[in-house]
Structure 1
Amino acid sequence: MHNRVKGLVAVVAIAVAVSPGLAMANEFRPQIERLMADQIEPWLTEPTVIAAIKAQNVEHAGISAETIQALDTQWQQEAAAGSGPLIDAVLGNPLSAFLTEKKQALDGTVSEIFVMDNVGLNVGQSDVTSDYWQGDEAKWQKTYAAGPGEHFIDDVEFDDSAEAFLSQVSATIVDPETGEAIGAITVGVNVEKLF
């Protein structure tokens, strides 16, 4: 019973911290940074991650804004339908299998993991995202677009579909051979699991 009360107190504390009108910094930043440093960053240089990003960067070299928009629209339509060729291709690739395995190993602490290329398009992911292009969002703009070594931790919000308080942490992914930014990663963190 003591653990249940402790858990309830934690949920109430989170709710108060993220309630409208109480705009506060993400109080879970230290725990999220530790999770990122200890559990995520060690595998960001794995060949599966680097090779997939580099291959998609070559494939999308010179891609137009119109093509990006068309792909994003296709993705959203397929997501609404439950599947489709674009979603199936991304979710069926080796990077997505790798990310799904990493998510499962984190046992509920992580709600999703996805990797983006140098234009902000998803390369691989553990779960279907609402859109395919992240280039217009802070998760990509404050990481890849800002250069190597960048991190961005978003606010905590209640996610209705996950029924949990989540925060997203994003980081630039760097080619270990050149030190250049090649893409980015976003990890959805269930902050309730950080206690």
Structure 2
Amino acid sequence: MAQLAEQQSRLSGPSGLFMKLIRQIRSHGRQSPLFEDLAQLEGRKRQWLAERAVQFAMGLHGRRPEVDNPFKGKLREDLCCIMFDDLSLHTLVERYAASEALRRHDSEYFSKLIATTRNTVERRIVFHGLLEHFDRLLPIEKSIYPLNYRSVQYAHLEQEEALYGKLIMEQPISALLQVHTPEWLLENLSSFEFSID
């Protein structure tokens, strides 16, 4: 696990390659030395995708007008593979753009999850959602979490279910939040409850 945490830190930690890329983009713009892997790309499609990633990164850091992330809308699992696979054919800037798409994907999920706690004492959905998210993470992503993270969140869920009843979820929380609002989940909570009696 320590090796995975170190690998993640080398890439996305405070002194990692992504931070180095950001600093170089801010200071050198298109002349960033970390863009040199772009010259080795073959094929128009590969070059086009990498160029879109460059434009996105430069826009994100104020060196060009902002443009959409070329990895926007990709599945979380695909983004992880692009970001963490050191042996992939993706350039550093593509991996950075994938990491930004992944960060945004997770932010949107957690925002919706937290919205299920507004104006209510209900926390079962949050703990189900946290466990679901954690269980889907790659080992390299889990490596930065405390070792007992899952058991702590599960204990919180059990405590909530002891008070309010068990939730029987036929679909993952993430799937429900893609088609329903957090308010809808709260309003329809009784359809997921299993009596504690």
Task: Give TM class, smaller chain.
Answer: under 0.3
Normalized per residue, which structure has more strand?
A: 1
TM-score under structure 1 length normalisation: 0.22
- Rg comparison, structure with higher value: 2
TM-score by length of 2: 0.22
User: Whose RCO is larger (CA < 8 A, sep 6+)?
Assistant: 1
